[in-house]
Structure 1
Amino acid sequence: MKKRSRRGRPYRSLSQSILGVQLDLRDLMRQVNAQLLILRMSKNKEYYTHTPPPTSPTSTRSALDLILSSSLSTTNIPADTPGRNQLSLRNISRSSTSQWGTVLKGYVILRDLERYLSRLVRDYTLLRAKS
């Protein structure tokens, strides 16, 4: 009879665990590739020249806070701009903000992928050391 975990599930062998990790990683890579494809297909590439600030484990503010507080998150529109020009500036502002939101989502996915892969390497190294 196999030993069972706290949840009543049988313990998985090393090969089963690695296979599960491979499947999870495959699904995650598909999701990231889909997000990157969406980013590449967007119309205006000039908004993507700004790179998010690097993060370190010791930083007090999260990377998301730093990105949201950056100058690219909003565009100032002068109040004294007459009629047609003001409307076009507002459209540009909305467009750049929505494009920046897309970039932000892509960055968050890539950051999470990096964290996941770091944990994966750590766990794999521990499993290899035990066997």
Structure 2
Amino acid sequence: MSLFQMTLWWQALILLCCILNCVESSAPSPVHQSDKYHNSFRLARSTRTRVQQLQRRYKEQQLGDGQFEDRSRQLRDLPSLSTDYYSWLNLTDWERLHGAFKDMQVYWNMLEWKRTQLEREQVTRGAAHNILPHSMKYIQLDLRDLMSQVSNQMSFMQSSWVKHTSPTARAPLNPDTGSKTVWDSRVEGYIILRDLELYLTKLARDFLLLASKAQVTQH
């Protein structure tokens, strides 16, 4: 082997080592992934606290009763909260995160719909400033941050995952507004917040499970 060929060979070897080091350093360690899931857990929990506070305020202002409860009413567009325990355990990490991303997108859209509706009513009636739409916006921002975290976690699992962290508002999910009373419309907002609180409890549980699995992988 000539000196020129030997030099090229060493240069190629050094380049390959640099590439491998970059790949290795960019891959998240189990510890790092566990920390990310714990961060998502904390955000889900703090968001749930916001939802609980808003729900009490919403029931006082819109329904006239801070203790109002009605578990019989449902909205068909909201994600199902019922989960078969064994099916839940057998979900892959990818399925768990992908499902969470889609469900949070639905809740973001539902809050956008109800928030816009409240703002329109406020303008139409010339009412004093209502804090409810503002509080809903804060929760939407929390959901957007959670979706961004989930998207980043998914990107480590599957390189083909296309990040999409900016939710897009869509048309009202319940278009038959003509047949609804003002009371029915207000109860819809309660249902959204009620189910979102329960969903965030479920989501926090998922993040804890993912964090524990990442720690087990480490050991």
With the length of structure 2 as denominator, give the TM-score of the two structures: 0.34
What's 2:23 paired with? 5
What's 1:93 paired with? 184
Higher relative contact order (CA 8 A, sep 6+): 2
Indicate the SS of the match to 1:46. Answer: coil
Check conservation: 2:48, 2:201, Cα contact below 8 A: yes
Q: 1:55 aligns with which of 78, 83, 87?
A: 83
Deviations 1:30-56 (Å, cap 9, x if unpaired)?
222212222233323332555986421
Distance 2:54 2:215 in 1: 32
Counting only pairs closer than 5 Å after superposition, residues 1-131 of structure 1 correspond to structure 2 as: 3-5=21-23, 9=26, 12=29, 14=31, 16=32, 18-41=34-57, 42-43=59-60, 44=65, 45-49=67-71, 54-56=82-84, 57=87, 90-127=181-218, 130=219
Unaligned runs of 5+ in 2: 1-17, 74-79, 89-102, 104-173
What's 1:67 paired with? none
Distance 2:195 2:29 in 1: 37
Q: Partner amino acid for 2:83?
A: T
Distance 2:202 2:26 in 1: 31
Distance 2:48 2:204 in 1: 8
Distance 1:13 1:116 in 2: 14
Check conservation: 1:32, 1:110, Cα contact below 8 A: yes
Instruction: Pick the structure with more helix per residue.
Output: 2
What's 2:158 paired with? none
Q: Partner amino acid for 1:108?
A: Y
Distance 1:126 1:106 in 2: 31
Unaligned runs of 5+ in 1: 59-63, 65-73, 80-88
RMSD across aligned positions (CA): 3.9
Check conservation: 1:4, 1:11, Cα contact below 8 A: no
What is the number of equivalent residue pairs in this alignment?
Answer: 100
- Cα separation, partners in 2 of 1:49 and 1:126, compared to 1, 3 Å: same
With the length of structure 1 as denominator, give the TM-score of the two structures: 0.51
- Cα separation, partners in 2 of 1:104 and 1:126, compared to 1, 3 Å: same
Check conservation: 2:55, 2:193, Cα contact below 8 A: yes
